[in-house]
Amino acid sequence: MYSAHTLHALYSASGFVVGLLVGLTGVGGGSLMTPLLILLFGIHPATAVGTDLLYAAATKTVGTAVHGFNRTIDWRVVGLLAAGSVPMTIVTILVLGNIGIQSSAAHDLITVVLIIALFITAAALILRERIVARYAASLAALSTERVATFTVILGAVLGVLVSITSVGAGAIGVTALVLLYPKLPTARIVGSDIAHAVPLTLAAGLGHWFLGSINVDVLMSLLVGSIPGILIGSYAAPRIPETALRFVLAATLLLVATKLTFDVIPSAPGATTTAATSVH
């Protein structure tokens, strides 16, 4: 059993590692932090999601400031994504509130959607280059209006996924943006994805706060580590060759896949009760 001091230090260390990855790649926020909170620290899935959303809003605000200073954000893309994500976030939060955020139904919904989202994340990152190569010609032929429409739809999908699981704003968003905007440099796609995650995670996080699924002590400990982590990562991102960024994305995928593998274990009969009641 960890002491309170040791536990907070572990939260901060986890926040630093995840913040560093988010700053470098735009990937690793909910994809790593939410499973980490559930599996390693035994936090209830709803509380893990809600806490991670506000954690992500704070850390990605810092990352956005750094990427903005480095001019690695396409604000038009950010606006299109937010036009789809913010309204769907509000709708999803209302649905979760109607179900009952701490109910067994919400627990099962969050767990199942989390597993699906992580599978999609892993597949998208593994197959990204193949998908881009296969569909590059047809995507390049799309009109500016069609690309804008698909970007809004992408934002709407991310709004639902992130509100339920906190997963998707990074890994899935980056992969989809690479498909829609193949001419944008990786660092600019990462910066745009991080900037869009701010209104998305803030809206979803405030919704979870209203529903009572936030652990403030855990949130503060995560921020202590994550803010310096994302500052370092965001500063280094445009200075690292694109191939190196791709390598970091692949490494992040391995971490996500590992977390997914172990996430199946607590969902087995008799195991969810322990995970669900350890920390609220």
Three-state SS string across the chain, please?
A: CCCHHHHHHHHHHHHHHHHHHHHHHCCCHHHHHHHHHHHCCCECHHHHHHHHHHHHHHHHHHHHHHHHHCCCCCHHHHHHHHHHHHHHHHHHHHHHHHHCCCCHHHHHHHHHHHHHHHHHHHHHHHCHHHHHHHHHHHHHCCCHHHHHHHHHHHHHHHHHHHHHHCCCCCHHHHHHHHHHCCCCCHHHHHHHHHHHHHHHHHHHHHHHHHHCCCCHHHHHHHHHHHHHHHHHHHHHHHHCCHHHHHHHHHHHHHHHHHHHHHHCCCCCCCCHHHHHHCEC
Q: Quote the pLDDT of residue 272.
A: 44
Q: Where are the domains of the chain?
A: 4-264
Q: Quote the pLDDT of residue 138.
A: 77
pTM for the model: 0.80
Q: Is the pLDDT of residue 234 over 60?
A: yes
Q: Quote the pLDDT of residue 195.
A: 92
Q: What percent of the chain has pLDDT over 90?
A: 28
Q: Quote the pLDDT of residue 268.
A: 47
Q: Which of 11-15, 168-172, 195-199 is predicted least confidently? A: 168-172
